Structure formats: C-alpha cells, structure tokens
Amino acid sequence: MNAASATARPLAQPLAPLPVRTPAYTSAQIALHWLSVSLMAALVLSGEIRHLLTSQTTVTMRSVMVVHIGCGMALLAVTLARACVRMTRRRAAATGFRMQDACAHAVHMAIYAVILGECLLGWIIVNAKGFAVPLPGTGLEFPRLVAADPALVITAIWAHEVLAWMMYGLLALHIAAALWHHYISRDDTLARMRLRVRNARS
Ligand code: HEM
Ligand code: HEM
C-alpha cells in the first residue's frame, strides 16, 4: 500500500455532516418554490415547442401559446408573491462560507430578476402584436403595457429569447449547486427545500 492510499478516506465512510441549520423557509415558501418549478417546466416546454412550430395559425400553435401565456402570467404572480415574502423574512441561513453564500444569493436574485423581466417581455410581445393578455376563465384582460407596434414585436421577441437562454444558464447553475450540496457537500441545503407532508397519525 502506498502513502497516498493509506491516507485516503474510504469511499463508503460518510462525510461529517455540517450542523443542521434551522429551517430557513416556511411551508408556504417551499410550496411556492415547487409550484414555480412546475410552471417553469411547462413554460420551457411550451416555449421550445413554439420555437419548433413554424405556422402561426395551427390549432396546436394556439393551444401551446394559451398554455405558455397562462403559465407565464401565473409564474409572474407566484414570483411577485415569493419576492414579497422574501423581503419580509430573513434570507436563507448562511452556510458559514462567505463566498458560497454570496454566490447563492447572487444567483437567487438573478433568477427573480430574469423571471420578472422575461414575463414582462412576454406580456409586451402580446400587446405589441395588437392583442391583450387574457385572464383565463374570467373574460377579463390584463391592461395593455404598450400599443400595437410591429418593430417592437421583433425587438421584444429577440430579448425574450436572449433572457430565456440566460434563464437556462442560471437554472443549470442552481440545480447543479443543489445537487452538489446534497451529494458532495452532504449538508441540509436541499432538505430545507423539501416539501413537508403532514403525518395524519401524528
Ligand atoms: C419565465 C417565463 C418565460 C419563459 C422562460 C419563456 C420562454 C419562451 C421561449 C423559450 C419562447 C420561444 C422563443 C422562440 O421562438 O425562439 C417563448 C415565446 C413566446 N413567449 Fe414566452 N416565456 C416566458 C414567459 C412569457 C409570458 C409571461 C408571456 C406572455 C404574457 C410570454 C409570451 C410569449 C410569446 C407571445 C412567445 C412567441 C413569440 C413569437 O411570436 O415568436 N412568455 N417564450
Ligand atoms: C430540480 C430543480 C430545483 C432544485 C433541486 C432546487 C432546489 C433549491 C434549494 C435547495 C433552494 C434553497 C437554497 C438555499 O437555501 O440556499 C432553492 C432556492 C431557490 N430556488 Fe430552486 N431548485 C430547483 C429549481 C428551481 C427553479 C426552476 C427555479 C425558478 C423558477 C428556482 C428558484 C429558486 C429561487 C428563486 C430560490 C431562492 C429562494 C429564496 O431564498 O428566496 N429553483 N432551490
């Protein structure tokens, strides 16, 4: 046995767990986080299907856009609610590593900002095309942010696409960090965002 293998930690031995931090998120925050994840998945799927479809008039295209715009406006509302809760509550408990906490904070804030920007741009595209954004099931419409403007449509679609790519990059970083905490660092970061199901017998 050489010196390196003698000092190496056996793979099966668990790492010393970091001290379990106090739950930083309320049940409402956790539920809103996972609701955002579902809405984001529907948005990415419908956005990319829209990108692949070429015809502007098919029934499939219309249905995809109804889902996309509905989920987008729902995500806007959920994100505004999350931002309000976030401002009135302490942010996520610190890990003790300043640089790591600063990066996590920066990525979280960027995700909030890009979602808000992306949703407003989507709303502007619809208005600039000459339509209002409907409030599903009510017959009501959201106010128009801009008048019909074909030049603005082109710019807003371009910006909507650029922000979508920024969003994918941020989410890839975010998900990779969550997995790193869980499998490599083995701390309680992911556990604090786990949905807490009430036990009916307790
Ligand atoms: C975070 C939220 C959102 C994401 C990630 C997202 C993503 C996308 C993506 C990837 C596309 C395809 C772009 C392309 O054709 O290359 C798209 C298209 C579109 N999105 Fe969104 N979107 C979001 C929110 C919204 C909202 C809230 C609305 C409207 C209120 C909206 C309206 C539209 C429209 C109208 C198009 C079609 C644009 C065109 O005519 O080419 N989006 N979106
Ligand atoms: C499978 C995918 C995902 C996992 C495993 C995950 C996991 C987590 C975890 C563990 C945290 C807490 C981080 C901490 O306390 O330091 C967190 C926070 C956060 N996540 Fe995710 N996430 C996922 C997807 C998403 C998506 C798609 C979005 C955007 C819609 C998102 C937005 C956020 C935001 C904004 C925070 C910060 C919450 C705050 O402190 O206000 N996450 N996520």
13 domain-assigned: no
**Strand ranges in 35-136 using DSSP code E only, listed in sequence order:** 134-135
Q: What phi and psi, each to the nearest 5 degrees, are found at residue 141?
A: -130, 150
97 domain-assigned: yes
Distance CA 87, CA 91 (A): 8
> What CATH number did the domain enclosing 168 receive?
1.20.950.20
CA distances to 63, 102, 140, 150 from 20, in Å? 46, 20, 48, 55
pLDDT-derived band of residue 132, with 50, 70 and 90 as boundaries?
A: very high
Protein residue closest via CA to atom 42 of ligand 1: 122
- What's the pTM value of the predicted model, to 2 decimals? 0.87
How far does Cα 20 stand from its chain's mean position? 25
1 domain-assigned: no
The pLDDT assigned to 200 comes to: 47
pLDDT digits (tens, 9 = 90+) for 60-101: 888 999 999 999 999 999 999 999 998 887 666 667 778 888
36 domain-assigned: yes
**CA 123 to ligand 1: nearest atom:** 30
Residue 97 Cα to ligand 2 middle (Å)? 19
Q: Cβ(67)–Cβ(46) under 8 Å? A: yes
Number of domains in the chain: 1
Report the percent of the chain where pLDDT is more than 70: 81
Protein residue closest via CA to atom 38 of ligand 1: 157
Would you say how long the chain is, in residues?
Answer: 202
81 domain-assigned: yes
3 domain-assigned: no
199 domain-assigned: no
96 domain-assigned: yes
Query: Among all ligands shown, which has an atom nearest to the Cα of 71?
Result: 1
CA distances to 1, 19, 32, 75, 86 from 83, in Å? 56, 28, 11, 12, 5
* Residue type for position 80: L
CA distances to 87, 98, 192 from 21, in Å? 20, 16, 8
Pocket test for ligand 1, best of 35, 50, 146 (most atoms within 8 A of CB): 50
* pLDDT of 201 above 70: no
**Domain range spanning residue 75?**
25-184
* pLDDT of 114 above 60: yes
* pLDDT of 105 above 70: yes
